[in-house]
A = this chain, B = another copy of it.
Amino acid sequence: MKVSMYALSAEVFANTLNNLAWFLEKAANNATQRKIDPAVFLASRLAPDMLPLTRQVQIACDLAKNSASRLAGQEPPRFEDTETTIEQLRARIARTVDYLKSIPASAFAAADTRDIKVPAGERTLEFKGLDFLQRWALPNVFFHVTTAYNILRHNGVDLGKKDFIGGGKEM
């Protein structure tokens, strides 16, 4: 049996974004407990030339939203990068997940062979849909969700692998 491109893109992205929202909820509680300004977490980076937590979350959302849109052949909504609090970032994630769930699975019917172009600096990368999902969309979305998690772990937030995989829920 084969599986749908929808299940391996929109559904996977929604799962991992819901887990990301859970990391941020734990981070907010952790900041309260330790009397830390949550803005410290949001501005934290793993290296001086890496992006801070706020941007990791925004980009994870955009990659999920735009990649699913490209695979479904529809124009993605544009979200402005205006978030300055954990609550606002969680709202953006919720908005992104709502959008992912709004795309009908049927829109992915021809997704595996769709021609997809991705602007990358001065170049334009060209993929077929399946290759785009394998080599671009999945690695990229998970990269930013994992990096957000790692920034929080590096700052002492009480997260574990169970949070990363199950968003704090029993699996």
Question: Which A positions have Cβ atoms within 8 angstroms of B?
Answer: 1-5, 7-8, 11-12, 15-16, 19, 46-47, 50, 109-113, 120, 125, 130, 133-136, 138-140, 142-143, 146-147, 149-150, 153-154, 156, 161, 164-166, 171
With contacts A12-B134, A47-B154, A138-B142 known, what are 4 further pairs, Cβ within 8 A? A15-B139, A135-B166, A139-B164, A147-B150
Which residues of B are found within 8 Å of A138, using beta-carbon distances? 12, 138, 142
Which residues of B are found within 8 Å of A120, using beta-carbon distances? 171
A2 to B129, CA, bound (A): 11
> Which residue of chain B has the shortest Cβ distance to A3 in the bound complex?
B112
A165 to B135, CA, bound (A): 7
A62 to B70, CA, bound (A): 32
> Which residue of chain B has the shortest Cβ distance to A2 in the bound complex?
B2
Answer whether A110 and B171 are a contact pair too, CB < 8 Å, given A135-B15, A150-B150. no
CB <8 Å contact, A8 and B3? yes
CB <8 Å contact, B15 and A134? yes
Q: Tell which of B111, B136, B150 touches A146, judged by Cβ atoms closer than 8 Å.
A: B150
Which residues of B are found within 8 Å of A134, using beta-carbon distances? 7-8, 11-12, 15
CB <8 Å contact, A171 and B50? no
CB <8 Å contact, B139 and A16? yes
CB <8 Å contact, B125 and A46? no
A170 to B171, CA, bound (A): 39
